[in-house]
Structure 1
Amino acid sequence: MLNLIKNEWMKIFRRPGTYVMIGLLLFMVTITGAFIKYQEQGGSVPDNQNWEQGLLLENESLKKQMEELGDRIPENTLLYYERQIALNEYRMEHHISPNEEYSVWSFVKDTSLMIDFAGLFTIIIAAGIVASEFNWGTIKLLLIRPINRARILGAKFMMVLLFGFLMLFLLFAYSTLLGAVLFGFPENPAPYLSYYQGSITEQSMPLHLFSFYCFESISMYMLAAMAFMISAVFRNNSLAIGLSLFLMFTGRQATELIAMKFSWAKYVLFANTDLMQYFTGVPMVEGMTLPFSVFMLLIYFILFLYLAYIVFKKRDVAS
């Protein structure tokens, strides 16, 4: 299996397009850093010494809205109000100001928006890693070897996972390095406040950003698995890329519209890919929980790989 993975790795990095994708990702991070530095946002602290009074007034306003709505308040809205009030009270009690200087960690958080671009490049690799073998006719050279088809397909999917990890690592590492050079490290770093099921915990910013990257990459890997499945089933990388990217940019929005009318929207893939909604927001559909979303993701993930394996195993490549 290791030799098969090495072979797939060499195939991908023999393509000039691979280096173009990596270069584009690093270039976008560089441009973002230069723009923020030019705007003189680095190293500045918002001038607001009365932040405690501001949080107190915000809490009073939220509590008043909760009282006015009463039993008519939607569950998701109630959860949002309770979360915001709890965070504000914790900040006031422990004297943690929401005003923070712009530093390397702020920059890494801003550039985390480019995880979608890393996902786009990973989807392109996933969509072509099987279909291109059929298009070029090189699939026959793989299948004439005394190697199980499951191992061949498994090596290709492992390569997709490794490439996605490489893109995320480069994004995180380069953002940290560039952010440290342009904005430096904070003198008195404030902790990140994580809220889950009524309890608040303090996290260091590096730990929070690491977990944030892990959660945000779930959507990328799920769409890559879907593109990989389409590539194996239909042998068409254009279809795999087009459909996967279309769902990447429209799937969540369409699911949100469905969720406004139908509770069964919670079973849709895109209602569950954002696990950060349980820590920084509210679930898309009332009644959704973190274990439920994890379970649904596992079901979809297994289904994608199962379909890819079944079709690839029975695919006739004699012609």
Structure 2
Amino acid sequence: MPSILSLIQNENMKIYRRIGTWFMIALLALSTLAGALITKATHKEPKNWKAEVASEIKEMEAQLSEEKVPKMYKNHLEQQLKINEYRLEHNIKPVASNTFWGYLVSSADIIALITLFTIIVAAGSVANEFSWGTIKLLLIRSASRTKILLSKYIAALLFALCMLLLLFVFSSVVGAIVFGIENIREPYLAYQNGTVVEKSMLLHVMQVYALNCVDLVMMTTFAFMISAVFRNHSLAVGLATFALFAGPQITTLLAMKFDWAKYLLFANTDLTQYIDGTPLVEGMTMPFSMMMLLIYFVIFNALTWFIFRKRDIAA
């Protein structure tokens, strides 16, 4: 009986034999370069960063003095106020987008492109086997349906991980070449337990990458589910892509009027709202969002496994 490792290896070979996969990698590299060049060309360096930070402090103090300020937004303002005061006191310049670390942080936005690439791979993983008629040949092997499906899902996630590593490498190299590494020792200022602390910028970048990967995992799982349930590559890509780009906007509109919007998937995928922003719906917390994501993750996978294992392949 083929081991799960050999099945995963076989799926990886299928992925990296395709010209489309290498086109995606090339496009990822071009995107990091283009992003750096655009940032360098459009960024305007402030004449006096201390004056700008001082101005921001006054604006925050004015907002905090208002009576009708939502509690969660007020907490966010107070934290940012303390951080800005710490900057001025310790002469720590804000991390600009046209610096090595600034570009690495902003490059996390390119994870949306990786999500789109992984959706395409995951959507075709099962559906193409049915379209090409190779599913019967696959299932006559001694490996169980569960192992076959698991190997395809793991291979899709490994592809996403590979693309993430490439993004980090590409961004680091491009950032160092375009912006230099003069400010590589700059710390990241975080607000913890009522005080401002200095942290490693590398750890902050890794945290930003990790938090931005939530959409990646959830949309990959969703596309994989549609692929297995409906056996249609185009439908899986279309639905997952629509959900990726329209889902957050629709959820935001609903959250303005309804508290129950916090139970929707896209109200919880942006975990950065608990780090550098305010929750979409008042009362939401990091543990709540993680629990909701786990529930959706289990539902998507349960549907995939149940339907694939019970399906008549000849149908």
Q: TM-score range by the shorter chain?
A: over 0.9
1:47 Cα shift? 2.8
For 2:152 and 2:133, how far apart are their aligned partners in 1? Answer: 16
Bigger mean CA deviation after superposition, 190-199 or 14-23: 190-199
> Conserved in 2, the CA contact under 8 Å of 1:196 and 1:279?
no
Bigger mean CA deviation after superposition, 185-194 or 115-124: 185-194
Q: Which amino acid aligns with 1:209?
A: V
Matching of residues 152-167 of structure 1 within 5 Å? 152-167=148-163
Aligned-residue CA RMSD (Å): 2.0
C-alpha distance after superposition, 1:43-62 (max 9, x if no partner)? x964316x1x5434433332
Matching of residues 200-219 of structure 1 within 5 Å? 200-219=196-215
1:93 Cα shift? 3.2
Q: Which amino acid aligns with 1:20?
A: F
1:73 Cα shift? 2.0
> Conserved in 2, the CA contact under 8 Å of 1:195 and 1:280?
no
Ranges in structure 2 where 5+ consecutive residues have no aligned partner: none
Structure 1 pair 291/197, CA: closer, same or farther in 2 (3 Å)?
A: farther
Q: 2:8 aligns with which of 1, 5, 8?
A: 5
> Conserved in 1, the CA contact under 8 Å of 2:222 and 2:300?
yes
* Aligned equivalent of 2:65: 67
Q: 1:21 aligns with which of 15, 18, 24?
A: 24
For 2:132 and 2:271, how far apart are their aligned partners in 1? Answer: 39
Across the two proteins, how many residue pairs are aligned to each other?
A: 312
* Aligned equivalent of 2:139: 143
> Conserved in 1, the CA contact under 8 Å of 2:269 and 2:289?
yes
For 1:36 and 1:276, how far apart are their aligned partners in 2? Answer: 22
1:26 Cα shift? 0.9
For 2:15 and 2:129, how far apart are their aligned partners in 1? Answer: 12
1:197 Cα shift? 6.4
Bigger mean CA deviation after superposition, 195-204 or 164-173: 195-204
1:170 Cα shift? 0.7
Is 1:279 equivalent to 2:282 in the alignment? no
Is 1:84 equivalent to 2:45 in the alignment? no
* Aligned equivalent of 2:47: 47
Q: Which amino acid aligns with 1:48?
A: N
> Conserved in 2, the CA contact under 8 Å of 1:196 and 1:278?
no
Q: Which amino acid aligns with 2:69?
A: I
Ranges in structure 1 where 5+ consecutive residues have no aligned partner: none
Q: Structure 1 vs Structure 2: percent identity of aligned residues?
A: 47
Q: Which amino acid aligns with 2:201?
A: M
Structure 1 pair 214/143, CA: closer, same or farther in 2 (3 Å)?
A: same
C-alpha distance after superposition, 1:166-189 (max 9, x if no partner)? 111111101101221222212463
Matching of residues 226-265 of structure 1 within 5 Å? 226-265=222-261
C-alpha distance after superposition, 1:249-290 (max 9, x if no partner)? 111111111111111111101011111110110000000001
